[in-house]
Amino acid sequence: MRYSRNRNNSGNDNKPVSDINVTPLVDVILVLLIIFMVTAPMLQMGIDVNLPRVKAKTMDVDEEKLVLTINNKKEVFINKYKTSITGLKSKLESIFESRIGREVFLRADKNVPYGFVVQVMSEIRKAGVDKLGMITESPRESR
């Protein structure tokens, strides 16, 4: 504890000083500021991916959702209408001309090769889709 001497004539009046020492506080704040400045750009790097959820949530019914399906024969369907992968981009562009939100949900059979699914996803992105969601099934409980 620090004491200060009173500058009175007596000179023996010692009282405790109740001032806050701000130097350590400023040092800690500066270190935290530097840490946040260094780590903030690292948090923004990455790939924009909407990961599939295991627990199912209900979808809003007010707007019709666009579901793109790939079956085990590598056939591509927009909702229930069959299309080819070559014409997929143009069909999606024409669909999204009249829509505000550019959102597509992709559902693929588990036996479809990964490369084909990525090719379809590429065509979806080329059509200017903002959000691409993956539809999955919840895992079966073991009995």
Domain containing residue 105: CATH number: 3.30.420.270
Residues 71 and 39 occupy one common structural domain: no
**Average pLDDT per block of 10 residues along the chain, 143 residues long:** 55 71 89 87 50 50 72 86 88 84 86 89 88 77 46
Q: What is the pTM of this model?
A: 0.52
Does 34 share its domain with 79? no
Based on the fold, state whether residues 119 and 85 are members of the same structural domain: yes
Domain count along the chain: 2
Domain that holds residue 87: 66-134
Q: Is 15 in the same domain as 70? A: no
> Residue 54: inside a domain, yes or no?
no
**Distance in angstroms (rounded) separating the CA atoms of residues 136 and 15:** 72
* CA 23/CA 29 separation, integer angstroms: 10
Q: What is the pLDDT of residue 43?
A: 62
Same domain (yes/no): 75, 36: no
pLDDT at 16: 76
Whether 9 maps to a domain, the answer reads: yes
Are 70 and 107 contained in the same domain? Answer: yes
> Residue 108: which of 97, 120, 99 has the closest Cα?
120
